[in-house]
Amino acid sequence: MSEKKTMLSGIKPSGDLTLGSYLGAIKNWPARAEEFDCYYFMADMHAITVRQDPAALRRRTLEQLAQYIACGLDPEKNTLFIQSHVRQHAELGWVLNCYAMFGELSRMTQFKDKSAKNADNINGGLFTYPSLMAADILLYQPDFVPVGEDQKQHVELTRNIVQRFNGVYGDVFKMPEPYIPKVGARIMSLTNPAAKMSKSENEDTGRVTLMDSPAVIMKQFKRAVTDSDTERCVRYDPENKPGVANLMAIYAAVTGKSFAEIEAEFEGQGYGKFKPAVGEAVVETLRPIREETERLLADKAYLEGVYRAGAEKAAYVAEKTLRKVYKKIGFVAR
């Protein structure tokens, strides 16, 4: 039997995971373990390129780990760890800084965007974090890296670094391939259907998070934007009725019903019946995730066991790569 190929993915614990994160991506992750050897990490080192409240960062890091498990990522089948617990990330990150060109880093779209948003804190980490991201990837010699549109540029930079480094020192790093994940429903903001549901705190009016109570979820859906036309019918028309189409996409994703079935179910009933029905379906979908997350967060010893074991396995794999790199560039062995 052939060995599984390796896949790696990290998410910054800089905001609360939303219904959009779950239906758009995380819901599909557990099935990957059948096909790939998966590494998932909480990218806390990346989070500090923007100022974080320390207590909130700690809470979110553990909460994200618990939510991953509650969403079906079995720690026996997936390697789950906290980035800062594996020192090799920072060590290789520094080495790769020396193989990433200034011009390449300055062209990164996310650097430009984040510099504009954080004009009072344009720090060195914000500029060089793509080198750390390359280290995150290359330490585990993965075959695939799941990427959204906003991360393609970083994987391209990683591939440039691999080419440059291997060109000098031989076959050290495996060339990672971008993996376009199976995309779930694309969930938009409930108050602004033209924008994606955001996990940042200042966008909370149009979002539902995995930890929201049933009362909060129902309130969010009751005030969700629909449309201003006079027919007030539940019909899938993203161009003319984006708010209704977004609610239908959510309802379809959590119930498994087709748009035609949803249209038939709410024919002649208007939005007063439709919006609470979507809210209730979401409440029931998220209830087991929220309850399991709360149970896991109360069991600190279990969570600690998961992230310690994950870091131990990750560090073992990462150290093999780092040792090879250090030898190639001429560092004296430890």
Residue closest to 271 by CA, chosen among 251, 300, 298: 251
Q: What confidence tens digit (pLDDT) does each residue in 213-254 have?
A: 999 999 999 989 887 766 678 889 888 889 999 999 999 999
- ∠ CA(296), CA(301), CA(305), 5° rounding? 95
Phi (first) and psi of residue 192, to 5 degrees:
-140, 85
| Separation between Cα atoms, residue 290 and residue 283, nearest integer Å | 10
Residue 103 CA to its chain's centroid (Å): 27
Domain membership of residue 194 (yes or no) is no
| Separation between Cα atoms, residue 307 and residue 301, nearest integer Å | 10
Residues 22 and 93 occupy one common structural domain: yes
Residues 157 and 256 occupy one common structural domain: no
Domain membership of residue 25 (yes or no) is yes
Count of the separate structural domains present in the chain: 2
Residues 20 and 155 occupy one common structural domain: yes
Residues 53 and 68 occupy one common structural domain: yes
Number of H helices, E strands in the chain: 13, 5
Residues 242 and 323 occupy one common structural domain: no
Residues 99 and 216 occupy one common structural domain: no
Domain membership of residue 274 (yes or no) is yes
Residue closest to 67 by CA, chosen among 264, 210, 228: 210
Domain membership of residue 247 (yes or no) is yes
Residues 158 and 96 occupy one common structural domain: yes
Give me the residues of the chain with pLDDT under 70, please: 1-2, 148-150, 182-184, 199-204, 229-231
| Separation between Cα atoms, residue 128 and residue 111, nearest integer Å | 9
The pTM (predicted TM-score) of the whole model is: 0.88
Residues 85 and 150 occupy one common structural domain: yes
- CB under 8 Å to 182, separation ≥6 — which residues? 28
| The pLDDT value given to residue 1 | 40
Residues 170 and 318 occupy one common structural domain: yes
Residue closest to 21 by CA, chosen among 83, 71, 74: 71
CATH number of the domain residue 58 falls in? 3.40.50.620
**Sheet of strand 36-42: strand arrangement:** 78-82, 36-42, 5-11, 144-146, 177-179
| The pLDDT value given to residue 142 | 92
- ∠ CA(113), CA(114), CA(120), 5° rounding? 125
Domain membership of residue 192 (yes or no) is no
Domain membership of residue 188 (yes or no) is no
| The pLDDT value given to residue 245 | 92
Domain membership of residue 185 (yes or no) is no
| The pLDDT value given to residue 239 | 86
* Residue range(s) defining the domain that contains residue 209: 201-294
| Separation between Cα atoms, residue 257 and residue 278, nearest integer Å | 12
| The pLDDT value given to residue 204 | 56
Residues 248 and 120 occupy one common structural domain: no
Residues 110 and 240 occupy one common structural domain: no
Q: What confidence tens digit (pLDDT) does each residue in 29-72 have?
A: 999 999 999 999 999 999 998 889 999 999 999 999 999 999 99
Q: Which residues are catalytic?
A: 114, 196, 199
For residues 324 and 173, the answer to whether their CB atoms sit within 8 Å is no
Residue tagged 């991506």 (tokens):
25
For residues 160 and 6, the answer to whether their CB atoms sit within 8 Å is no
CATH number of the domain residue 205 falls in? 1.10.240.10
Residue closest to 210 by CA, chosen among 6, 75, 27, 1: 27
Which residues are bridge partners to 6 per DSSP?
Answer: 37
Residues 60 and 139 occupy one common structural domain: yes
